[in-house]
Chain A
């Protein structure tokens, strides 16, 4: 099963951009890269996903390496409400979520 590797924790100053890395060297051609985040005492929430091209939405941007073995979630201006655990996961575009491993993610601390 394809797995992802993320740093355990990162810090960012408020109002500054944050780049959260994720390595997925065993990604397959049909795997989508998804990012979720989990705020304290809440369930995870969807952030963004992509397959090959970079993606943007109102929450963040996703930069995907050309060989797809790594990706970076970009928060353009970190706010205190962005303090959360960020999960990078791979989801088979053909199947369901049965092979998805969320792991322990990256805990982002935002410093005021």
Chain B
């Protein structure tokens, strides 16, 4: 079974621009979560989607948004980029049920200049 895939793997943007990152979950997984990882803050939860609905949200400004499609693929968007948005953005999927483990993708490395 293919793992979680994220595109693109690397991205360079300038301040003020917007960016869209994509995540394809493992087949059959309907829950997709997004995380931001920075050296100082570690991994921070952004939001979780399930069946095209945002189910949970972390403490991030409204510039960070996401959506999920009917095939469970998910995108996250960051508008008006700031230097502090430079980070590794990780997507994780999981199968709803008794198993709680998440499966992470390799991440998208975003650099804002």
Contacts and interface: CB of A to CB of B under 8 A. Distances in A.
Query: Chain A interface secondary structure, helix, strand, loop or mixed?
Result: loop
Interface residues of B, number: 23
Interface string B49-65: 00000011110000000
Given A43-B92, A44-B90, A95-B56, A100 B45 contact: yes
A98 B56 contact: yes
Given A98-B57, A103-B42, A104-B42, A44 B104 contact: yes
Nearest to A104: B42
A44 B101 contact: no
Query: Chain B interface secondary structure, helix, strand, loop or mixed?
Result: strand
A49 interface: yes
A32 B100 contact: yes
A91 interface: yes
Interface of B: 4, 33, 35, 42-45, 47-48, 55-58, 90, 92, 100-107
Interface of A: 32, 34, 36, 41-46, 49, 87, 91, 93, 95-105
